[in-house]
Structure 1
Amino acid sequence: MSRRRSLHPEEEELWKAVARTAKPMHAPIFRRKITETPLEPPVTPFKLPSAPRIAPFRMGEKPATPQPKPVAASGLHMDAKAFGKMTRGKLVPEARIDLHGMTLDVAHPELVRFILSAHANGLRLVLVITGKGKPGVDSGPIPRRSGILRQQVPHWLRQNPCAPAILQVTEAHLRHGGSGACYVYLRRSR
């Protein structure tokens, strides 16, 4: 990249003479008066935010403790202590259903029957095993997902008739199946 240098007076006169004789190759879209001084970009004023997003902090000072999120905002609908035990695998499921090898049209009614009967019997924590799915041969340009039951079960649990009976759905701990299973924490039956 070459550096620009200022023109000597003789060079500047020569340049102006050449520029006067030059003809444009194309008709200009709009006419603009060419000035000798380069135009500066418009300056937009910088506006400071009205309130800082975080509290002021000085080196060596302890940061302010963050406010706990409300339970609804964090997606937690059950007791935090029980949720912690459940995600660490400390709570033992009271019942389980294994959907391995079932097709969608067989698995859906079985799951609904299982959830509703567990809720009617007063169970609180059940385990739904879907499996991780077989990695199939992906020969097409559009990738196919493996584990259709693993993808459909959370949708089925959020729909009627199961949704009113369910308080929380979470991926199971590794000892209970990991990503191939999910915990379903049921509401108390009334």
Structure 2
Amino acid sequence: MTDLIPIRTTDMPAEMTALLHAYPRDAWAANPHFAKSTREWMRAHEKFRVLSDHLHAQTTGFLDRGVDPDGFADHLGRYGTALVRNLHGHHHFEDRSFFPELSAADPRFDVGLEILEKDHAALDQVLENFSRTGSRVIKLVQLDETAAREEAGILETQTRAIRAFLDRHLGDEEDLAVPVILHHALRG
């Protein structure tokens, strides 16, 4: 799985979690600096997790013959496109606006932001491969259902790995960014 999807296996450097100890995750919601914009940013992360789970479940259902091929192709086109477009837009915003804001507030965490930006570059390749495989599956559903199921086997591996990638990346991103936001009272 990880040979198809380059999931970062190294933890964030310990110094990148310095503020996380002062602002633990279970206390974020009660913090007066946990602004609406931060909640919305985290809601977007949850939507990415849900979409990737949904795409994986649909792909598994298609492989198990529990999901209608035409319905699967429609779902894959609609929700796969939504996942790819929204992730690209979200990461573009983070790289161009959000991360520079965090860096300006607390440059101690630039190393962590660089790691997250490298994740974004790796995810771009992952999403390109997923889009290519998904497009082939959608076309093959109409042409050769057996071949579509074979290709969907690759897609199943990709959707499972995308979720693992997102779990790792989004969790690290939240654990780095939210404490900086709370500590410096940003985005209020």
The interval holding the TM-score normalised by the smaller chain is under 0.3
Q: With CA pairs under 8 Å and 6+ residues apart, which has the higher RCO, 1 or 2?
A: 2
Instruction: Give me the TM-score of the superposition, normalised by structure 1.
Output: 0.25
Normalised by the length of structure 2, the TM-score is 0.26
